A and B are shown apart, each in its own frame.
Chain A
Amino acid sequence: MTSELQRERLAYKRSRSRRSTLVALLSTAVFAVAVGVTVSRAPGWPRVRQSFFNVEIAWRSLPAVLEGLWLNLRVLAVCGALILVLALVVATLRTLRGPVWFPLRVLATAYVDLFRGLPLIILLYLIGFGLPALRLTGVPNDFVVLGGAALVLAYTAYVAEVFRAGIESVHPSQVAAARSLGLGPRKTLRLVVLPQAVRRVMPALLNDFVALQKDCGLISVLGAVDAVRAAQIEHARAFNFTPYVVAGLLFVLLAVPTARFADALARRARRRQGGR
C-alpha cells in the first residue's frame, strides 16, 4: 500500500528524470551541431571528407575488410580461450607457497617478466620468421598459427599478472577459514580463493580482452590478411583512408558488447554487495 506522500514523491522523481533526459538531449544536440559546423566549415573539410569518409570507397572495401575481420574473430576466439587457461596456471604457480615450489615460481616469474616486457611486434617476428627458419621438423609453418602462438605467449603474461593480483587480494582470513573447515590447500584455492579472485579482476580481464581484440590484427606482419591489413590494401589502391575508418568502426562495434557485458557484471557485483 503506497501512501499519498510516497505517490507524490514518485511522481516528482519521474518528472525530474524526464527533465534531466530532456536537458541531456538538448545539450547533446547543441554539442553535435557545434562540432558539425566547426568541422564542415574548416577549409580542408572537402578533402578530408573525400579522403576519410568516401561512401563509394567504403562500400567497395567492406567485403574485403569483413573477410579480414572474420580472421580476427577466429584468432581471438582460439587465443582468448588458450590465454585464460594458461594465465590461470601461471598465476597459480606464482602464488604457490612453500620452498619445494621455488623453481616453478622462479620459472613463472621469469616468463612473465620476459614476455610482458618484450614488444609484441618483435615477439611476432622472432616466432613467425625465426622459429620456422630453424627448419625443425614438427614446427608448424602456418603464419596464422605462429602469430597466434606469439599472441598467446604475450597475453598470457599480462593476464597471469591480473589473476595474480586477484588471488593476492583475497583476504588471508578467507584461506584461514577454509582451512579451519578442513579444506586442503588445493580445494581452498579452487573453491574459495579463485572464485573471489576472478570475480574481482573481471573488469581488468575484459579490458585485456578488448586489447587482444585489436592486437589480433598484428599477426598481419607475418603475411595474414586481417581487417586492418585488408583496409591497408584498399587504401593503397586509391590513396584513400576511408577503408581504415570502415575497419575502425567495425572494431568499435566489436568492443561495444564487451563493454556492456562488463557494465552488467559490475552492476551485479554492486547488487550482491547490497549497494544499488
Chain B
Amino acid sequence: MRAPGLILAVTAAVLAVACAPADQTAPPTNQVDGVTCTKDKLPTLTPGKITFGTDQPVYEPWFVDDDPANGKGFESAIAYALAEELGYAKTDVVWTRVPFNAAIQPGKKTYDMDLNEFSITEERRQAVDFSAPYYDVDQAVITLKSSKAASVKTLAELKQVKIGAQVGTTSFDAAERLQPEQDVAVYNTNDDGKAALRAGQIDALVVDLPTAFYITSAELEDGLIIGQVPAGDGKPEQFGVVLDKGSPLTACVSTAVENLRADGTLGRIEQEWLSSAGTAPELK
C-alpha cells in the first residue's frame, strides 16, 4: 500500500514548502514514514554518500558525453538537484553504471536510486519502488526525409509503414498500440533502430519526444519528426526514480521530488535541457 505514504509525502511537501523560510539551505528535519530525510540519518549504501545508478551508455538529452557525473543533461541535473535537496554535497554523490536488467532484478541493489528514463507503471511497482514522477513524457515517431513515411499525416497512414522501437521501452508499447499492419521491429538500442532506419529496413522509429528532437536535430542529417503518438490510456506517461522494492529512501526521495517541483527547480532543469522539446503535431 503506497497511497498513505504518498499522501503523507505530499502533505509533508506542501507543509515544508508552506513553512519554509525563503532562503533555507538544508531542509529542516523532515520525517517521512518514520525516516528522517537527512544525510546523517538516511540509510544509504555508503553512509554519508548517495549512490546513483544509470545504464551505460546513456544518451542526450538525458545525459551529456555518456558521463552522468558532470551534472549536464536532464537526468544528471535532476540527480544532483535531488542530492542537494536531501542535504548531500556534490562530492557526496557517487555514480555507478547499472545495466537495465541489473537495475530491476530482485536481489540486493548496487545503487540507492536509479535514473534512466524509467516510466512508472502499476505493474512495475510490484518489482521496484518508484519515486514521485519528475517528468511527463510524450512518445513521438521519427523518420528520414527520404523515407516513404515522411509524407505520413495521420495514424491511419502510419499503420501502413514498417515501424521499429527499442525493446523494453514504453516507446515499443506505444508502437504496438498503433496496431500497425506489419510487426513492430524491436532493437536493443535506439542506435540500432537508427541503423535500421538508414538501411531502409524500417520506415519509422518510435522514441520519446525529447529523444526525437535530439536525434532529428543532432544525429540524423535528414531526420524528421512525423508527430506525437497518443498515450496509452489517456493518462500522461511519467518518468520516476527507481529504488529497491521497499527501500527506506523512497518516501524521502518522493518528498524531495515534490519539493523540487514546488520550488520551480524541476521546471528550470526541464527548460535548460529539454527546452528544444517544444511540441510536435499530435497525430490523429
Q: How far is the CB of B9 from chain A (nearest CB, A)?
A: 22
- Stretch from A2-10, A32-40, A46-54 forming part of the interface with B: A46-54
Q: Which listed residue (A47, A221, A233) contacts B172, Cβ 8 A? A: A233
Contact residues in B for A47 (Cβ distance below 8 Å): 106, 245
User: Which of the residues A133, A142, A143, A240 comes within 8 Å of B127, measured between beta carbons?
Assistant: A240
Give the complex CA separation of A44 and B245 in angstroms.
12
Query: Judging by beta carbons under 8 Å apart, are B192 and A238 in contact?
Result: no
Min CB–CB distance B12 → chain A (angstroms): 28
Is A163 located at the chain interface by the 8 A CB criterion? no
B110 CB to nearest chain A CB (Å): 16
Tell me, in angstroms, the Cα distance from A53 to B198 when the chains sit together: 40
Partner of B196, one of A129, A229, A233: A129
The range of chain A's interface size is 20 to 34
Q: Which of B99-120 contact A (CB under 8 A)?
A: 100, 104-107
> Contacts of A229 on B, CB cut-off 8 Å?
167, 186
Contact A133 B198 (CB under 8 A): yes
Partner of B105, one of A51, A143, A223, A224: A51
Q: Is the CB of A143 within 8 A of B201?
A: yes
Partner of B201, one of A44, A223, A235: A223
- In the assembled complex, A61 has its CB within 8 A of some CB on chain B: no
Interface residues of B in 109-143 (CB under 8 A from A): 121, 123-124, 126-128
Interface size on B, residues (CB 8 A): 31
In the assembled complex, the CB of B196 is this many whole angstroms from the nearest CB of chain A, namely: 6
Within 8 A of B (CB), among A208-222: 220-222
B202 touches A (CB below 8 Å): yes
- CB neighbours of A238 from chain B (8 A): 123-124, 126-127
CA of A101 to CA of B237 in the docked complex: distance in angstroms?
Answer: 65
Tell me the complex Cα distance, A102–B178, Å.
Answer: 58
How many angstroms between the C-alpha atoms of A74 and B26 in the bound complex?
A: 62
A72 — which chain B residues lie within 8 A by C-beta? none
Distance, CA A220 to CA B100, complexed state (A): 18
Q: Which residue of B lies closest to A233 (CB)?
A: B167
- Inter-subunit contact A48/B192 (CB<8 Å): no
Give A2 Cβ to nearest chain B Cβ, in Å. Answer: 62
A-side contacts of B245, CB under 8 Å:
47
Is A141 in contact with B192, judged by CB distance below 8 angstroms? no
Query: Considering the chains assembled together, what is the distance between the CA atoms of A28 and B252 in angstroms?
Result: 50
Chain B residues with CB under 8 Å of A235's CB are 168
> Taking the complex as formed, is B36 at the interface, i.e. its CB lies under 8 A from any CB of chain A?
no
Q: How far is the CA of A125 from the CA of B191 in the complex (A)?
A: 12
Instruction: Tell me if A236 counts as interface (CB < 8 A to partner B).
Output: yes
User: CB distance A132 to B201 under 8 Å?
Assistant: yes
A233-B186, A237-B123 given; A129·B195 CB < 8 A: yes
Residues of A within 8 A of B167 (CB): 229, 232-233, 236
Question: Is A225 part of the contact surface with B, judged by Cβ < 8 Å?
Answer: yes
Residue of B nearest to A121 (CB): B188
Q: Which of A48, A52, A223, A239 contacts B185 (CB 8 A)?
A: A223
Quick one: which of A52, A129, A224 contacts B192, CB cutoff 8 A? Answer: A129
B214 within 8 A of A: no
**In the bound complex, how far is the Cα of B79 from the Cα of A130, in angstroms?**
38
Question: Does A241 make an interface contact (CB < 8 A)?
Answer: yes
- Once A51-B127, A143-B201 are accepted as A-B contacts, the answer to whether A223 and B164 lie under 8 Å apart by CB is yes
Nearest Cβ on chain A to B166's Cβ, whole angstroms: 10
Q: Does B3 contact A (CB under 8 A)?
A: no
Selected contact of B126 from candidates A44, A50, A221, CB within 8 Å: A50
Cβ contacts A to B, 23 pairs, < 8 Å: A44-B106, A44-B107, A51-B106, A51-B127, A52-B106, A129-B192, A129-B198, A129-B199, A133-B195, A135-B200, A141-B199, A141-B201, A220-B186, A221-B187, A222-B196, A223-B164, A223-B196, A232-B168, A233-B167, A233-B168, A239-B123, A240-B127, A241-B106
Q: What 15 new A-B contacts, CB under 8 Å, besides A47-B106, A133-B198?
A: A129-B196, A143-B185, A220-B186, A221-B187, A221-B192, A222-B196, A223-B186, A223-B201, A224-B185, A225-B186, A235-B168, A236-B100, A237-B124, A239-B104, A239-B123
B interface list, Cβ under 8 A from A: 100, 104-107, 121, 123-124, 126-128, 164, 167-169, 172-173, 183, 185-188, 192, 195-196, 198-202, 245
